[in-house]
Chain A
């Protein structure tokens, strides 16, 4: 029972990170019908830029408190990733707007390799220790469950961002234009919407979320690495598909569910397989889920209205 509770908490933490990244996938898919496979690498750039910024802050302003230092690093990383997201859309995807759908998809994979290679050139191939500015020492256990301050921060920040995003998309003029553009680019432009700007805004918002997710991921695990975006990227993609790609609520639900399944699964995989597998095989769960969803419910849990826009 304690294992279950503990793994539930861990799962919600990991799941919130997946959910933030999944939102970026699902927003871009909703508006362009494109799976932006470079999205996980934006998370990686976010973590590494934050790491670099924190190092600089610690070098030049060593008296700054831990939290302001982290927020400074996070701020720089969010801004850099927003610019990166815009640049990727502008240079790689915009010119392929009317190309067959396979072309931008392959381009996305190319952008992913490009970002990883650039990061490898800049930051090398080694793992970097990510400074633990928010404590990762567990607090006093409640009902036998340990939770760390950084985990609490992750839960609070991601919940806040998700609510903010829902408000933005559902209640503002920009959000209305995003939904209109997602449904029909041509008619949206007949309303005076500059659809290119709306698409750029979508990439910028998604990239900002990815940057935050990257900093959370690295703060939680204490490392950053040029290839660290690959696995969370794939998992978040799985989460978006699980929830119903193109659906914001679906991405959130899918992210949390995936985190829970993976985490609870990892807690019991040793018993379930009679000791044959251990928790380092936890990635199995995400991809088994991806397979099952694609076979039995390709529109995902909440996505009934995914139409293939020709």
Chain B
């Protein structure tokens, strides 16, 4: 980590369980402010579990979760958002019965600065022009790619400092994936710290500064995106070589 400032997010030996089953068996990772880091690994490695616990949807069974220097192990999800920690969940989590506009406004639920909200809506539309065309449509009628865009736009409307993205490419056509990663890149360029979970390891590694590789609830490798891409073990396990 080149940045000398304290990390924005830090997991220290964090354990997460579903009942008696320990899904994440003590992992440590950290993100400096402004970093774009990805977490890759096979199905069932514990990536989504980790993101959900960081967002406060799952309780932490052991270890520590530190955000901006403070321990947030017991902080409920809705309070984490208020501190700038937003998750775009697996499967997008669109409110299918609400309109696109209502979905976006839910992202700004905790904000009272209505002028700035309108300005941020405009920014989202610039980034995601197709969202504007669909504003009054019920969100459940959108295509998968459009829903993913709404989900990302909605998260941006909370003005996050740390954005957690869970498989934004899942189930989408390559062209749409490209478009979505372009958006993620421009969000990162604005200084938002991003933790990206992806099954598409190739894409994620090319895309991010650093990455962690997860396997059966543990972090087994870490390094820069480029190094991991070149690592024969990673290539064998996750890039199908």
Q: Which of B57, B106, B158 contacts A177 (CB 8 A)?
A: B106
A-B contact pairs, 18 of them (CB 8 A): A179-B102, A180-B102, A180-B106, A183-B96, A183-B97, A186-B57, A187-B93, A189-B56, A189-B78, A190-B77, A190-B78, A190-B93, A191-B110, A191-B154, A192-B81, A193-B78, A193-B106, A195-B78
Give chain A's interface residues, CB within 8 Å of chain B: 173, 176-177, 179-180, 183-184, 186-195, 305
Smallest CB separation, B116 vs chain A (Å) = 16
Q: Is the CB of B81 within 8 A of A191?
A: yes
At the interface with chain A, which of B82-90, B142-150, B174-182, B188-196?
B82-90
Q: Is the CB of A179 within 8 A of B57?
A: no
Q: Which 8 A-B pairs have the closest CB atoms?
A: A187-B93, A192-B110, A192-B81, A189-B77, A191-B106, A189-B78, A191-B109, A192-B78
Q: Is the CB of A179 within 8 A of B97?
A: yes
Q: In the complex, A125→B65 CA distance in Å? A: 58
Q: Does B95 contact A (CB under 8 A)?
A: yes
Q: Which of A173, A187, A193 contacts B89 (CB 8 A)?
A: A187
Q: Does B76 contact A (CB under 8 A)?
A: yes
Chain B contacts for A173, CB-based, 8 A: 105, 109
Contacts A192-B158, A195-B78; is A187 near B95 (CB within 8 Å)? yes
Smallest CB separation, A114 vs chain B (Å) = 30
Task: Say what secondary structure dominates the interface of chain A.
Answer: helix
Chain B interfacial residues counted at CB < 8 A: 25
Q: Give the number of residue pairs across the A-B interface with Cβ within 8 Å.
A: 68
Chain B contacts for A305, CB-based, 8 A: 97
Q: Is the CB of B95 within 8 A of A183?
A: yes
Q: Does B27 contact A (CB under 8 A)?
A: no
Contacts A179-B95, A184-B95; is A193 near B87 (CB within 8 Å)? no
Q: Does B107 contact A (CB under 8 A)?
A: yes
Chain B contacts for A183, CB-based, 8 A: 95-98
Which chain B residue lies CB-closest to A170? Answer: B102
Q: In the complex, A184→B57 CA distance in Å? A: 12
Q: In the complex, A192→B93 CA distance in Å? A: 14
Chain A contacts for B89, CB-based, 8 A: 186-187, 190
Q: Does B131 contact A (CB under 8 A)?
A: no
Residues 100-115 of B, flagged 1 when their CB comes within 8 A of A and 0 if not, give: 0010011101100000
Chain B contacts for A187, CB-based, 8 A: 89, 93, 95
Q: Is the CB of B96 within 8 A of A191?
A: no
Q: Is the CB of A192 within 8 A of B109?
A: yes
Chain A contacts for B156, CB-based, 8 A: none
Which chain A residue lies CB-closest to B151? Answer: A187
Chain B contacts for A195, CB-based, 8 A: 78
Residues 62-91 of B, flagged 1 when their CB comes within 8 A of A and 0 if not, give: 000000000000001111011000110100
- Identify the interface centre among A177, A186, A193, A195: most chain B CB within 10 Å of its CB: A186
Q: In the complex, A195→B78 CA distance in Å? A: 8
Chain B contacts for A184, CB-based, 8 A: 93, 95
Q: Does B55 contact A (CB under 8 A)?
A: yes
Which chain A residue lies CB-closest to B77? Answer: A189
Q: In the complex, A188→B82 CA distance in Å? A: 13
Q: In the complex, A193→B78 CA distance in Å? A: 6
Chain B contacts for A192, CB-based, 8 A: 78-79, 81-82, 109-110, 158
Chain A contacts for B81, CB-based, 8 A: 189-192
Q: In the complex, A189→B78 CA distance in Å? A: 5
Which chain A residue lies CB-closest to B154? Answer: A191
